Amino acid sequence: MIEALRWVGDRDGHVSMIDQTRLPDVLIDLEITNPDDMIAAIRRLSVRGAPAIGVAAAYGACLATRGLTDAVEVRAALDRELPKIRDSRPTAVNLHHMVDRMRRLIDASDLTGCELRDRLLQEACSIQAEDRELCLMIGRAGAALVKDGGRVLTHCNAGALATGGQGTALSVFYAAKDAGRRFEVVADETRPLLQGARLTAWELQKAEIPVTVICDNAAGHLFARGEIDLVVTGADRVASNGDAANKIGTYTVACLAQLHNVPFYIAAPSTTFDFSLATGAEIPIEERSGDEVWRVSGSGPIPDGVKVRNPAFDVTPASMVKGWITEKGIIQPPFAEIRPEATR
């Protein structure tokens, strides 16, 4: 299995992560040894995908205390670094959830410095292990949606590179393949950073699942010809009513799916749901540098003086979603199965 990131060593170890900005041309691992480098990796998308960013944030807390033994110094370092890690990207809620989880561990602890650091590392490793299991459960929950001989469209990358395990949307495809079904995945290239073309196609090829990359603006043509049977995407944040933020262009795909009566599903773990938000209108949408619109594709800069906007995400209304594939199965609002009060 592809592993987006992992902890290496003991409490004074480091994080090894695939630099996703270099894929598929070059497969190299980055050695991340401090929280500033982790924040930079998150911001430049060396690590990306809501669950993977959450894991990275948890490990970032461990990196913030490297080399420290005094409990006061450990807590001071965490007080200083955790807010910066939490604010490194605004839309993916797993980042916030996992930083808050690490914070609760600190606040509830009266351990010595080294004991606290061991607990932090144990918690961060548990977060990744839990996400790995959530991914497997999501795959099993959604596998039956993929029919033998079908053609499934996905947008952006919701695979192992985006999680602590084997993925969310792509986990559904892996489970369907394991069940013996033969099908094809159509991957939107996902402008402007081409996560579908660079990352999803690379993952699926390694898994020996047939995959075809299309330009984002070719999707409508395939829908109109009846060549898409199912859409499964991931999500970076899901509001209480089911509205979901995902990579920019997902809403366009959902509109096409609705127009052509093709079921549209979102695959996401409970950690991606934000029950503090009533609707998707409250989800903060990250806007990134306009340079990304032309730089990665190699098409050259736009004319001088022309304004560029580069929203990284859009929100798909719950009314367009057939079902939400989670570790608890395919569920519907109000999501009683995964609400925090359901676990008490």
273-289 b/e with 16+ CB inside 10 Å = b?
bbeebeebeebebeebe
Reported pTM: 0.95
CATH 3.40.50.10470 occupies which residues in the chain?
139-343
CA distance linking residue 303 with residue 80, whole number of Å:
42
pLDDT range class, residue 342, cuts 50, 70, 90: low
**Segment 310-338, tens digit of pLDDT:** 999 999 999 999 999 999 999 999 999 99
Q: Which CATH number applies to 139-343: 3.90.950.10, 3.30.1360.10, 3.30.930.10, 3.40.50.10470?
A: 3.40.50.10470
| Three-state SS at 88 | coil
- Decide if 274 is catalytic: no
Radius of gyration of the chain (CA): 20
Q: With a cut of 90, say whether residue 301 has pLDDT above it.
A: no
Domain topology for 5-136:
Four Helix Bundle (Hemerythrin (Met), subunit A) (1.20.120)
How far CA 136 is from CA of 35, 54, 98, 267, 272, in Å, comes to 29, 17, 20, 12, 16
At residue 86, the pLDDT reads: 97
Looking from the CA of 210 toward its CB, the CA atoms found within 13 Å total 9
- For residue 165 the two structure tokens come to 């395990």
CA distance linking residue 98 with residue 124, whole number of Å:
9
Residue type, 45: L
Quote the percentage of the chain above a pLDDT of 70. 97
**Segment 42-58, tens digit of pLDDT:** 999 999 999 999 999 99
Q: With a cut of 90, say whether residue 41 has pLDDT above it.
A: yes
CATH 1.20.120.420 occupies which residues in the chain?
5-136
Exposed/middle/buried for residue 117 (C-beta within 10 Å: 0-12, 13-18, 19+): buried
Q: What is the mean pLDDT of residues 22-35?
A: 97
Quick check: bond before 301 cis, omega within 30? no
Residue-wise DSSP of 149-186: T-EEEE-S--BGGGSSSSBSHHHHHHHHHHTT---EEE
Quote the percentage of the chain above a pLDDT of 90. 91
At residue 229, the pLDDT reads: 97
At residue 135, the pLDDT reads: 98
Q: With a cut of 90, say whether residue 299 has pLDDT above it.
A: no
**Segment 109-147, tens digit of pLDDT:** 788 999 999 999 999 999 999 999 999 999 999 999 999
At residue 344, the pLDDT reads: 39
Indicate which residue of 216, 236, 243, 274 is catalytic: 236
* Residue the block writes with tokens 């929100």: 315
End-to-end CA distance of the chain: 34
CA distance linking residue 167 with residue 132, whole number of Å:
8
**Segment 217-274, tens digit of pLDDT:** 999 999 999 999 999 999 999 999 999 999 999 999 999 999 999 999 999 999 999 9
* Residue 224: count of CB within 10 angstroms of its CB: 12
Q: With a cut of 60, say whether residue 296 has pLDDT above it.
A: no
